[in-house]
Structure 1
């Protein structure tokens, strides 16, 4: 199974330790699951980890941003950026996630409303879009 995971979900996984993302943390430990990412996605995560509200959370948890980046590096597989998908997201920052998911026929995990509203259109291209919370994890794992 191939996954593309947006930055907000990554933050839930390791910065906020959202209990709802625990099934995804478990899923990422499965060697049959491939999390696809690009250099631009990692750069975005690095930039977001420097936002004052995120730094405050990292500091409160005594969690260096470098640890989050190391988890990203260890769990994801870096691939080249994908060509533009046939559908365009209203939020340009999310387009790279859509493009990559379409190019690889991957499941796209996102909490972004602009991405989630594209689920029906992206399904026509073989991309499942989900928030990746417990109720959806079984569907993601069997997709």
Structure 2
């Protein structure tokens, strides 16, 4: 089973917006059917995003969201993370590419166009980059 990396937009859909399209993905993570991987840097990125006024989440809710994610994600030590051979237009998203590259073969689920643009190049390195919440089923 390939490890799965979720970018911040997907995490928002799961934990903040409770998007029904992400329900099966969340359930697969919770029940251990897939290995969802986070790192210190991806956790910091997610914490930064959910703290923005746009989301109107108080500190208690932010902490609860982070606790939920950390309780089901597998933490990968990114202190010696290899850099992916491609650079993302959005530097905040580079960590997700680097993590997926380090874990290859892997799946990176993202809705970010800057990340999705790299999909064909990443496929050459055994990384599936997709916006499909159900991509994890392809690896079952």
Same fold, TM-score > 0.5, yes or no: yes
Please report the RMSD computed on the Cα atoms of aligned residues, expressed in angstroms: 1.5
Deviations 1:44-79 (A, max 9, x none): 111111111112xx46xxx71111001111111111
| Unpaired stretches in structure 2, ≥5 consecutive residues | none
Tell me whether 1:140 sits opposite 2:139 in the alignment: no
CA distance in 2: counterparts of 1:129 and 1:30, whole angstroms: 23
CA distance in 1: counterparts of 2:46 and 2:85, whole angstroms: 25
Comparing 108-117 with 82-91, greater Cα deviation is found at 82-91
Tell me whether 1:41 sits opposite 2:42 in the alignment: yes
**1:85/1:99 contact within 8 Å kept:** yes
Deviations 1:84-134 (A, max 9, x none): 11111111111110111011112001000011111110000000011133x
What SS does the corresponding residue of 2:127 show, helix, strand or coil? coil
Dislocated runs of 4+, deviation >6 Å: none
Q: TM-score, normalised by structure 2?
A: 0.88
